Structure 1
Amino acid sequence: MRSIDVDPLAEALAPPQNESPEQRHHRVLKERAAKKASDEIDDQLSRERQQAKRQPKPVKILLLGQSESGKSTTLKNFQLMCEPKAFRAERASWRAIVQLNVIRSVRIILDALTASSSAADSPSPRASSSSRDSHSLRLDADLLALRMRLFPLLEVHDTVMRRLASPSDDLPPASPSPSSFRTPALSTIFRRRTGKEVTVNSNVPWKTAFMRDGSERESFATQDVVDWEDPTDPGMVLHERAEDLRRLWAHPTVHAALEHQGIRLQESGGFFLDEIDVVTSQRYVPTDDHILRARLKTLGVAEHRVRLTDPNGHITREFRIFDVGGHRSLRPKWVPYFDDMNCIIFLAPISAFDQKLEEEPEMSRLADSAAIWTSIIANKLLQNTNIILFLNKIDILEAKLRSGIRFADYVASYGKRPNDFDSASRYMRKQFAAILKDSSPIPRLFYCHLTSAVNMKSTQFVLLGIKDMLMQHHLKQSGLII
């Protein structure tokens, strides 16, 4: 027969040649069982589709903003407000992130000390013209000893990073004790990239990485979930080095080196050195506030579903909250999520008025936020979408202005206005409102809130108001209320 006359599907499904009656009986039973399972799956999917048609459409919220604008922290506030039990069941997972944030801060400090020490010893013209400053940044014997004792934390950081990236992988059977970590070669340490932070893929179940097997159920207390005897747990090493960490952060040369290089650790996400006694305690469990402040950079799009009731507690709606990456390379992936979105919460970190964009060092972070805001407002796909602006990180803005940093030195259009929080925040609010008025395809309301996402009470108060507004809007669209 010609090959064109052969049906490959029929050939594949045909019974084997020389099949015995017993083999045929077993084959038929297996085929019947497989068909029954397939039919049950089809029936279940059909029931779910029918149920979804009967239920009201979910309210979709998209969190947008540049990297480190506070999107993930806002999402955590939503989760804490709507599903506190599930949120607090994840304390064990966030415990490891807080500890890694501490190690990252140590890495930044050690890199800064290395750079300052090299500059002080360098015979360059710049160093010779400022020998007084160079001498002040020389590392004394105590600081050199601290630096050497804390280098092993960097190896712990890399080990835990690998564990977070592949939480299901089997770990090596034997792990060194906290006191036996070998100090890496200085050439290896000096090649480390400054500020390397914890990054995980949103599709990786990283929250199971530091839990005991089978401990993902919400009924478990955090003390039962954490494997306190795990030799790879970063908490053991941090506890052993707690005194060294205190002395490092209290050393005046450390603060001089950070200031000399323009590094403000206190303003960055995941800063915990001011609470080093708490986070290095032997059985440390993070508080809600610690979880909100913990910094974890995620790649990809994370979808979170919560069920909320209307202001009167009668009608329940499903809210779907989408958190997308804010790095410049990830922004083209935002567009597919613009369709059928009920609300966009855009976060602009106005405290970053004096900072440059990491991806493009010549561009101001504030100017970048304004450019993103303009593109979102002007997008015709979003002209009927509620857009809410969070002028975020106002606590850091206020602290900067109080310290004497002048807003007008970085925002020329600010002119001679007073260098205080009320004036600066009012000015920024007017600037973003003007962009909306000039760029929106249709007239629309301006929803704006001054926020500090790490302030749990104030942020949840704002989110509660947004939830009620969206619920009322959604009920009107559904014809359930007038």
Structure 2
Amino acid sequence: MFSRDDSDPDPITAAIAPPHDESPHERQIRLLNEQTAKEVSDGIDEQISRERQQAKREPKPVKILLLGQSESGKSTTLKNFQLMVAPQAFRAERASWRAIIHLNVIRSVRIILDALARASNPGELPPSPRSSYSSRDSIRPDTDLMTLRTRLLPLLQIEDVLVQRLANHGTQSVPDGPSPSDTSHIPMTARRRHGKEVAVNSTVAWKSAFMRKPTGRESFDSQDVVDWDDPNDPGAVLHARREEMQRLWGHPMVRTILASQGIRLHESAGFFLDDLDTICAPRYVPTDDHVLRARLKTLGVSEHRMRLTDPQGGITRQFHIFDVGGQRSMRPKWVPYFDDVDAIIFLAPISAFDQALAEDPRINRLADSVELWTAVISNKLLQNTNVILFLNKVDIMQAKLTSGIKLVEYCPTYGRRPNDFDSASRFLKKQFSTILKQSSPSPRIFYCHLTNVIDVKSTTYVLAGIKDQMMRFNLKESNLIL
């Protein structure tokens, strides 16, 4: 057994001991600083103690998970929750989404320019399996279109500027479609190299990258936090190139070329080319609708806390909503969040019945949603959890079916049913319901909504119903109501 010589100085005591040559004045200052530090520490401890006591008195928070594949509408659903619960705070952040919408516009332009480059060299890639065109030689872009492409290429430099600003707030690159653009000079945290889309870490406060600090007032308009004199602001360049971008998107050959390569740009998240007059205005600030439509891929799991009030009883509850990344690589990380969860909102984008996963082109997106739904429903950790299904993006699905795209070609079990939205939605709803009945470890009620989560009015109605349902369920569990 080891013993310690009492004459040896304790290293901690030695570290905090005052200097031997400390003067009376220096000692007075040191003691004052120590007293101030102790008061701050005691204040923090007291605040923590109060919060713990308050937490004990309040009902258990309602924990909700948003699950679904990437681009299923989870982040948009969360935005709707925020808009419903705290509209002022939501609108105060609209200025930060201005840069993201500009990034979305440039990304759409880049996709078109890349498609034109491929079309001008038809031997570069094989025909798209989703294309109805047998030859790409007949749809080469004309001289006018290629000249327009050359004039718009410098616009892509703005993308690098915006990515660079996000780079300082923890962005990464994730797979997207093919892209020949070289961004090798951008730091690794924000590089959008060949075939990559910018993504932001959900735990990082990226919004501050595009917002000027308020002047100290408790409330302020979104325009107050936009630095209109910022020399790197892309708004002026986009305004100058607005007509050329409109000519590009309005060119009839562009739609044909995109279709020949299986690209349905107007169906993708973050599509704004139909609204360039508004978005490219000199002092543009996004509307609520624009913020809901904005696309920024997020990685990781983000937690959002909201205080919601039951309108009937006036009881306030804390809601913890977790937005869980839907990429295939993220799905193994879902399980730790299944513990003690009250409800899952599962989003299945049924409009993607004719699309493949970006992560694995061999897998149909609708089939992937069905597989994910089966895995969630059959998980024994969740057997007592309410699961609410959103069959999402119904507006896009309806447009596809109306245009003649046949569900049976991608889902053979659809059989000879009519190729209309009512028939298709009933069929898919029944398929998901059957899986719940057959795969759930215990009997469950099938909660299902046909949704378009960028439609604020209808989505707010659905979410308000879910909030009240969860509020009543948890109050019963806490024996606060009969």
Asked whether the equivalents of residues 107 and 194 of structure 1 are also in contact (C-alpha less than 8 Å), the reply is no
2:40 aligned residue (37, 40, 61)? 37
Q: For residues 440 and 11 of structure 1, do their structure 2 counterparts lie closer, same or farther at Cα, with a shift above 3 Å needed?
A: same
Distance 2:253 2:67 in 1: 39
Q: For residues 389 and 446 of structure 1, do their structure 2 counterparts lie closer, same or farther at Cα, with a shift above 3 Å needed?
A: same
Asked whether the equivalents of residues 393 and 452 of structure 1 are also in contact (C-alpha less than 8 Å), the reply is yes
Superposed CA offset, 1:56-77 (max 9, x none): 2211111000000000111111
Superposed CA offset, 1:256-297 (max 9, x none): 211111000011000111112221112222221111111111
Q: For residues 53 and 361 of structure 1, do their structure 2 counterparts lie closer, same or farther at Cα, with a shift above 3 Å needed?
A: same
SS of the residue corresponding to residue 356 of structure 1 reads coil
Residue matched to 2:167: 165
How much does 1:19 deviate?
Answer: 4.8
Superposed CA offset, 1:300-329 (max 9, x none): 222212221113261111212111110011
SS of the residue corresponding to residue 151 of structure 1 reads helix
Alignment of 1:311-460 (within 5 A): 311-312=311-312, 314-460=314-460
Asked whether the equivalents of residues 408 and 415 of structure 2 are also in contact (C-alpha less than 8 Å), the reply is yes
TM-score by length of 1: 0.89
Are 2:23 and 1:52 aligned?
A: no
Q: Which amino acid aligns with 2:469?
A: M
SS of the residue corresponding to residue 118 of structure 1 reads coil
1:108 aligned residue (111, 128, 136)? 111
How much does 1:210 deviate?
Answer: 2.2
Distance 1:216 1:376 in 2: 46
Q: Which amino acid aligns with 2:110?
A: R
Q: For residues 195 and 215 of structure 1, do their structure 2 counterparts lie closer, same or farther at Cα, with a shift above 3 Å needed?
A: farther
Are 2:236 and 1:236 aligned?
A: yes
Asked whether the equivalents of residues 325 and 331 of structure 2 are also in contact (C-alpha less than 8 Å), the reply is yes
How much does 1:229 deviate?
Answer: 2.3
Percent of pairs identical after alignment? 65
Asked whether the equivalents of residues 136 and 253 of structure 1 are also in contact (C-alpha less than 8 Å), the reply is no
Superposed CA offset, 1:230-262 (max 9, x none): 221111111000110010001122112111110
SS of the residue corresponding to residue 122 of structure 2 reads helix
Alignment of 1:254-265 (within 5 A): 254-265=254-265
Residue matched to 2:187: none
Residue matched to 2:283: 283
Are 2:78 and 1:67 aligned?
A: no
SS of the residue corresponding to residue 67 of structure 1 reads coil
Distance 2:134 2:375 in 1: 49
Distance 1:390 1:131 in 2: 34
Q: Which amino acid aligns with 2:152?
A: L
Residue matched to 1:174: none
How much does 1:78 deviate?
Answer: 0.8
Residue matched to 1:145: 147
Superposed CA offset, 1:111-156 (max 9, x none): 1001111117x79999xxx999444332322212211111112110
Asked whether the equivalents of residues 100 and 198 of structure 1 are also in contact (C-alpha less than 8 Å), the reply is no
Q: For residues 23 and 261 of structure 1, do their structure 2 counterparts lie closer, same or farther at Cα, with a shift above 3 Å needed?
A: same
Q: Which amino acid aligns with 2:67?
A: L
How much does 1:46 deviate?
Answer: 1.2
Q: Which amino acid aligns with 1:38?
A: S
Superposed CA offset, 1:416-466 (max 9, x none): 111111111111111111111111111111111110111111111111111
SS of the residue corresponding to residue 209 of structure 1 reads helix
Q: Which amino acid aligns with 2:315?
A: I
Distance 1:425 1:131 in 2: 29
Distance 2:18 2:212 in 1: 48
Distance 2:386 2:393 in 1: 22
SS of the residue corresponding to residue 358 of structure 2 reads coil
Superposed CA offset, 1:332-387 (max 9, x none): 22111111111110000111111111111111111111111111111111111111
Residue matched to 2:223: 223
SS of the residue corresponding to residue 317 of structure 2 reads strand
Distance 1:291 1:195 in 2: 25
RMSD: 2.8
Distance 2:125 2:323 in 1: 49
Distance 2:480 2:181 in 1: 68
SS of the residue corresponding to residue 408 of structure 2 reads helix
Distance 1:94 1:66 in 2: 23
How much does 1:101 deviate?
Answer: 0.6
Distance 1:21 1:8 in 2: 25
How many pairs are equivalent?
460
Asked whether the equivalents of residues 208 and 216 of structure 1 are also in contact (C-alpha less than 8 Å), the reply is no
Distance 1:211 1:123 in 2: 42
Unaligned ranges ≥5, structure 1: 169-185
SS of the residue corresponding to residue 334 of structure 2 reads helix
Q: For residues 132 and 333 of structure 1, do their structure 2 counterparts lie closer, same or farther at Cα, with a shift above 3 Å needed?
A: closer
**Greater Cα shift, 208-217 or 130-139:** 130-139
Q: Which amino acid aligns with 1:417?
A: R
Q: For residues 215 and 159 of structure 1, do their structure 2 counterparts lie closer, same or farther at Cα, with a shift above 3 Å needed?
A: farther
